[in-house]
Copies of this chain bind each other. A is one copy, B any other.
Amino acid sequence: MNPSPQTEVPHVVIIGGGFGGLETAQRLAKSKVRVTLVDRHNYHLFQPLLYQVATGGLSPANIATPLRSIVRKQANCEVLLAEVVDFDLEHKRLILADGELDYDYLVLAAGATHSYFGRDEWAKFAPGLKTITDATEIRRRIYIAFEAAEREPDPEICKAMLTFVVVGGGPTGVELAGALSDIARHTLTHDFRHIKPKDARIMIVEAAPHILAHYPDDLSARAAEKVRKLGIEVHTHTKVTEVTEDEVRLSGPEGECVVATNTVLWGAGVHANPLGKKIGDALGIETDRAGHLPVSATCQVAGQDEVFAIGDIATYTDSEGNVLPGLASVAMQQGRFVAETITRLAKSEPIEGAFVYKDRGTMATLGRPFAVAQIGKRQFCGFFAWLLWLFVHLMLIVQFQNRVLILMQWAWSYATFNRSNRIITGEEPVKIVPPSPELSKK
């Protein structure tokens, strides 16, 4: 409505309001630049807790904070709700689905989504967990499965309905399976009349030799032990060869097998946002199989000093030849570095040194109060690690209200084994219940 202030300061455009993009925007608050943060959604999503939404422990809004409210006091930053579809690098311009946007500096922080390793037709049977829509869809499937089983007279079909296959033994898969076990063994105990929710079969399928393969061996083993104690089957060295509406085919050390199930949840594979490949193609830079855009030691894209890529959309290889993992902390540290770099460039100062990642550790929860954590060189496991996990995640959540609400919701869930957000939403909540004409004869 009112025109932008006609300032002469450089315009920094950041694509993506995730951990990396938001950190970049906020670290530019005191720089002599104007910042536009472009995102397809109007909120920053705290992805590490998305599995809690998918399992009914938290509401979507608990982990999604409006971007505008986060940067409302940052005068040099504006938020633009828009979809970037292409680049005109020559004219330093973004092509939006419904307009254009010029930049002086561009920070690509559009993240990644899950990947079906070329079998995209599996997506409709095995939803992944990257967005709020994904999470509410998974929540719907989990609770609908119990509802359908309650109505099913045929014990074989009922068993299939209560079989949950989680593909991928990384943090997402393991946390999802752990929460599923809590639901089956505690939350729903008294809710049904014809089934015992604790009879649910929960499987983790992982192609690698261990679950949580990126964790130290010790922790990975402790996690596997805990997961088995929760009644979850762990199938390592096992690949998924087919997924259909009512079964999943596995190929493992004991050969092929077919598991009858209506609920397959996808926690495997990562594919960078296609915008990375778009820039790569335009500049003749090859992206890797997962679509990651390689960047220089200063997070710049080769041949484009004013274009940076950070977080899950980029591949950063450190001075020792290691590729940095796809973690929020990597994206945030890169965001900080890029903000400092742009600040220097805007003042026509040279860039100082290369980006250096400080590994502050990683952690995952497994069911009720248990977690594994690696902090620097120290490892923790069990209840203390869980408290640590709780503390770190609450501190990281952007907005104060959410912290308090989440803590209260957790305290309540912990005391009562309850999950209050297990509502089934979506247009047609009943439709996926399979026909059971025998119902009236129950």
Which residues does chain B contribute within 8 Å of A435, judged by CB atoms? 98-99
Check if A433 sits within 8 Å of B190, measured CB to CB: no
Interface set, chain A 299-320, CB cutoff 8 A to B: none
Q: Can you report 8 residue pairs joining A to B where beta carbons are below 8 Å apart?
A: A42-B422, A61-B421, A68-B188, A68-B192, A81-B151, A96-B439, A97-B430, A98-B435
Listed stretches A286-294, A348-356, A405-413; interface member? A405-413
Check if B430 sits within 8 Å of A100, measured CB to CB: no
A100-B440 CB under 8 A given contacts A68-B192, A191-B72, A429-B40 = yes
- Chain B's closest residue to A162 (CB) is B1
- Chain B's closest residue to A99 (CB) is B439
Check if A401 sits within 8 Å of B421, measured CB to CB: no
Listed stretches A113-121, A152-160, A247-255, A368-376; interface member? A152-160
- Chain B's closest residue to A80 (CB) is B151
- For A150, A195, A427, the residue with the greatest tally of chain B CB atoms inside 10 Å of its CB is A150
Size of chain A's interface in residues, with CB distance under 8 A?
A: 82
Which residues does chain B contribute within 8 Å of A421, judged by CB atoms? 59, 61
The answer for the CA separation of A277 and B131 in the assembled complex, in Å, is 41
The answer for the CA separation of A243 and B143 in the assembled complex, in Å, is 38
Asked if A378 is an interface residue, CB under 8 A from chain B, the answer is no
User: Interface digits, A70-109 against B, CB 8 Å rule (1 contact, 0 not)?
Assistant: 0011000010111100000000010011111110000000
Which residues does chain B contribute within 8 Å of A61, judged by CB atoms? 59, 420-423
Interface set, chain A 35-81, CB cutoff 8 A to B: 40-43, 59-62, 64-66, 68-69, 72-73, 78, 80-81
Asked if A147 is an interface residue, CB under 8 A from chain B, the answer is yes
Asked if A4 is an interface residue, CB under 8 A from chain B, the answer is yes
Which residues does chain B contribute within 8 Å of A132, judged by CB atoms? 423, 425
Interface set, chain A 395-442, CB cutoff 8 A to B: 399, 401-402, 404-405, 408-409, 412, 416, 418, 420-427, 429-431, 433-440, 442
Check if B402 sits within 8 Å of A420, measured CB to CB: yes
Check if B405 sits within 8 Å of A194, measured CB to CB: no
Interface set, chain A 112-150, CB cutoff 8 A to B: 132-133, 136, 143-144, 147, 149-150
Residue in B73, B420, B427, B434 whose CB lies within 8 Å of A190: B73
Which residues does chain B contribute within 8 Å of A402, judged by CB atoms? 420
The answer for the CA separation of A143 and B83 in the assembled complex, in Å, is 17
Asked if A7 is an interface residue, CB under 8 A from chain B, the answer is no
Check if B1 sits within 8 Å of A433, measured CB to CB: no
Asked if A193 is an interface residue, CB under 8 A from chain B, the answer is yes
Check if A66 sits within 8 Å of B422, measured CB to CB: yes
Asked if A321 is an interface residue, CB under 8 A from chain B, the answer is no
Residues of A within 8 A of B (CB): 1-4, 40-43, 59-62, 64-66, 68-69, 72-73, 78, 80-83, 93, 96-102, 132-133, 136, 143-144, 147, 149-153, 155, 158, 188, 190-195, 399, 401-402, 404-405, 408-409, 412, 416, 418, 420-427, 429-431, 433-440, 442
How many copies the complex holds: the figure is: 2
List 15 extra interface pairs beyond A42-B143, A81-B429, A98-B430, CB under 8 A: A2-B194, A4-B193, A4-B442, A40-B429, A40-B430, A41-B424, A43-B424, A61-B422, A73-B190, A81-B430, A98-B436, A98-B437, A133-B425, A133-B427, A405-B405
Which residues does chain B contribute within 8 Å of A80, judged by CB atoms? 151
Residue in B68, B158, B404 whose CB lies within 8 Å of A1: B158
Q: Nearest Cβ in chain B — how far from A9, in angstroms?
A: 15
Check if A98 sits within 8 Å of B153, measured CB to CB: no
Q: Nearest Cβ in chain B — how far from A105, in angstroms?
A: 16
Check if A42 sits within 8 Å of B147, measured CB to CB: yes
Which residues does chain B contribute within 8 Å of A412, judged by CB atoms? 401, 404
Check if B405 sits within 8 Å of A409, measured CB to CB: yes
Which residues does chain B contribute within 8 Å of A66, judged by CB atoms? 191, 422-423
